[in-house]
Chains A and B, each alone.
Chain A
Amino acid sequence: MKTLRELFRDSRFSLGAAVLFVLVVLALLSFFSPYDPTEWRVVPRDMPPSWEHLLGTNSMGQDVFWRMTFAARNSLIVAVFGAIISRAIAVTVGLVAGYSGGIVDRVLMFISDGFMVIPLFLILVLLAMLIREHMNLVNMALLFGIVGWPWDTRLIRSQILSLREREFTYTAILSGTPTRKLIFNEYFPFIIPLVLATFINHTAFVVGMEMTLALIGLTDLTIPTLGAMLQWAVSYQAILLGLWWWLSVPIGVAVALFVALYLVSVSISVYLDPRARIQRVGAR
């Protein structure tokens, strides 16, 4: 609670959190939607925004506002699950590499360094190409979960390396604490804040990658996500037809989401930075 109060002092965090809150509320609104998002021609086509249709309607005869709520919901679900999977891999690899050291450490670090320089986008395209027919939300989360962990693995590993040399590790080992207990009880409290900060970054990464793959037609476009919404608007030439509300809604939501996630993650990493912490304590 105290942490949260301190974080909210940072205007960047409060702004980001407020925008995220609005987006989550929008996503929750989808449960009250009067229309089925997969059905076409339920409302008049190409209507500009009005009281009846808050953000207008598109060329497929769907209400843009209600479709957007579904898109926000699905994109957030994929992003959160993708981030959880990827965090699990990052923590496991980082822990094993950092704790065991030696040849295991070197092999694992070589693999993660290798994945850092290889363009992820191409690997994702190759993978998505092959499971194209099965690109539902679960598979999408899995697909985005198995990439993007190397950076954070490195971070976690270095944290473990420094923790391993601390006094309390020796005390624990000498007093016969099992390794599992040592890791879960003693090391995890140090790692969890790190994982949280990178979790937010990966969420943004997944939303972005989902939109990218949708834009090149590699996801299931019948599932309303931000990417699918954008793809429909682009492929129906919404710009040239002057249907600005159709195209700008997914873009606007995406920009708001990315900026909000970024602000929150910057503010959290500043909070976690020991130098900033000293400043904060000193200022009071």
Chain B
Amino acid sequence: MRFVRRYLVPRLIQYVLVLWLGITVIFFIPRLMPSDPVEAQINTLLLQGTFLGPAVVEEMTGILREMYGLKGGLLEQYVSFWRRLFSGDFGPSLFMFPTPVIQLIGQSLPWTVGLLLVSTVLGWIIGNISGGLTGYFRQSRILRVFDGMAMFVRPIPYYIMALMLIILFAYLLPVFPLGGALVIGTEFSFTWSIVWNLFKHAFLPLMSLSLLGVAVNHQTMRLIIQNVKQEDYIWYAKIGAVKERTIFARYAMRNAILPQITGLTLSLGQIFGGALITEIVFSYPGIGWLLFRAIILTDYNLIMGITTISIVAIITGILIIDLLYPLFDPRIRFK
């Protein structure tokens, strides 16, 4: 019961508050802007050479205002914004009319979630192991090389990494395809050739995301484990002739991994942004690619839908990791 009161309830309250903050920010951004999205939308239409009479423009402004939820007073808009959010209704996409926005996002979301999940887990595990080894066994020359590599890879942004990988492995050494998720015209099913095809297309995006994850986790883990190594209990274990391998795996790593879980929750938002960019570079059919098309076509409804859903998804994802945290931290579990 103490766990529920001391950990679960405050965490859930925090979740609701952060969610409220995020959604409120999204709500207010377009309304604080000097330019009116409805006017902008109609201007784009007029610029494309469509002729519209004044009466039609008037009518369209009304319809668009209603579609954007810009009708009525600020409070009324705010309430209806939340109501629409809970019913998952973001209106139709303007450029793929009348497909609902929620359906377009539903088609893209699995690709992004898959990419993000695999690359984050991969980067986290590999980075922590290599960082842990490098931090614990400082003398090893081979492990020091990892340090140098991480130093170089760490500051490079996702899309630059993606472009470098494309040049290397899709253009200079054409091993992997340039973009896409499957060969055009194939439907997904569980046959060997299609799964292999899927893997080939996903390999470079996965690489560009997880390489950076490895570098980041490597560096933080190295620093943490260097500090852990100076703790007294490690020293006692050494005097007590516990095997070096056991000390490393069960004493040092076990304690150093905890801040890394917290780090993962904090950086998830960044990794998500990176995944969106990587998808754009590789034309991978996830949320990022959808967002890119929505921006090009100025599909305002779709952009609002993507932003809102992504923020809800990320905050919920962080909540889930945080709720799993007691599984790893005995101090919280036994309290």
B18 surroundings in chain A (CB, below 8 A): 113-114, 117-118
Cβ contacts B284-310/A at 8 Å (1 or 0 each): 000000011001101010011011001
The complex places the Cα of A22 from the Cα of B304 at a distance, in Å, of 42
- In the complex the two chains form, is B154's CB within 8 Å of A251's CB? no
Query: Shortest distance in angstroms between B291's beta carbon and chain A's nearest beta carbon?
Result: 7
A116 at the interface (CB under 8 A from B): yes
The complex places the Cα of A212 from the Cα of B277 at a distance, in Å, of 7
Closest to B21 in A: A114
Known: A117-B318, A126-B26. A254 touches B35 (CB 8 A): no
Count contacts on B: residues with CB < 8 A to the other chain: 52
Query: Shortest distance in angstroms between A155's beta carbon and chain B's nearest beta carbon?
Result: 14
- In the complex the two chains form, is A130's CB within 8 Å of B30's CB? yes
A215 surroundings in chain B (CB, below 8 A): 159, 277, 280-281
A24 at the interface (CB under 8 A from B): no
Known: A114-B22, A117-B315, A255-B160. A130 touches B33 (CB 8 A): yes
A239 at the interface (CB under 8 A from B): yes
A263 surroundings in chain B (CB, below 8 A): 151
Query: Among the listed B155, B265, B277, B296, which residue makes an inter-chain contact with A261, where contact means beta carbons less than 8 Å apart?
Result: B155
Query: Among the listed A118, A244, A259, which residue makes an inter-chain contact with B311, where contact means beta carbons less than 8 Å apart?
Result: A118
Most chain A C-beta atoms within 10 Å of own C-beta, residue among B21, B26, B157, B164 = B157
Closest to A208 in B: B157
- In the complex the two chains form, is B155's CB within 8 Å of A258's CB? yes
Query: Shortest distance in angstroms between B215's beta carbon and chain A's nearest beta carbon?
Result: 11
The complex places the Cα of A211 from the Cα of B151 at a distance, in Å, of 21
Known: A117-B268, A217-B295, A239-B171. A123 touches B21 (CB 8 A): no
Query: Among the listed B151, B156, B171, B270, which residue makes an inter-chain contact with A119, where contact means beta carbons less than 8 Å apart?
Result: B270
B173 at the interface (CB under 8 A from A): no
Closest to B287 in A: A122
Known: A118-B315, A131-B33. A212 touches B159 (CB 8 A): yes
- In the complex the two chains form, is B157's CB within 8 Å of A212's CB? yes
- In the complex the two chains form, is B311's CB within 8 Å of A119's CB? yes
Cβ contacts B6-23/A at 8 Å (1 or 0 each): 000000000001100110
Query: Shortest distance in angstroms between B40's beta carbon and chain A's nearest beta carbon?
Result: 8
A64 at the interface (CB under 8 A from B): no
Known: A113-B18, A125-B295, A131-B33. A211 touches B159 (CB 8 A): yes
- In the complex the two chains form, is B314's CB within 8 Å of A119's CB? yes
B:86-103 near A, CB below 8 Å: none
B163 surroundings in chain A (CB, below 8 A): 230, 234, 247, 251
Cβ contacts A59-75/B at 8 Å (1 or 0 each): 00000000000000000
- In the complex the two chains form, is A126's CB within 8 Å of B307's CB? yes
Closest to A12 in B: B151
Known: A125-B291, A218-B295. A117 touches B26 (CB 8 A): no
B211 at the interface (CB under 8 A from A): no
Given contacts A125-B295, A129-B300, 8 further A-B contacts (CB under 8 A): A111-B21, A118-B18, A118-B22, A126-B307, A129-B295, A130-B37, A215-B280, A258-B155
Nearest 5 CB-CB pairings of A with B: A121-B273, A262-B155, A114-B21, A119-B269, A258-B155
Contacts A/B (CB < 8 Å), 7 sampled: A117-B315, A122-B307, A123-B25, A126-B304, A208-B157, A247-B167, A255-B156
- Which residues of B approach A to under 8 Å, CB–CB? 17-18, 21-22, 25-26, 29-30, 33-35, 37, 151-152, 154-157, 159-160, 163-164, 166-167, 171, 265-266, 268-270, 272-274, 276-277, 280-281, 291-292, 295-296, 298, 300, 303-304, 306-307, 310-311, 314-315, 318
- Which residues of A approach B to under 8 Å, CB–CB? 110-111, 113-123, 125-127, 129-131, 133, 204, 208, 211-212, 215-218, 230, 234, 239-240, 244, 247-248, 251, 254-255, 258-259, 261-263, 266
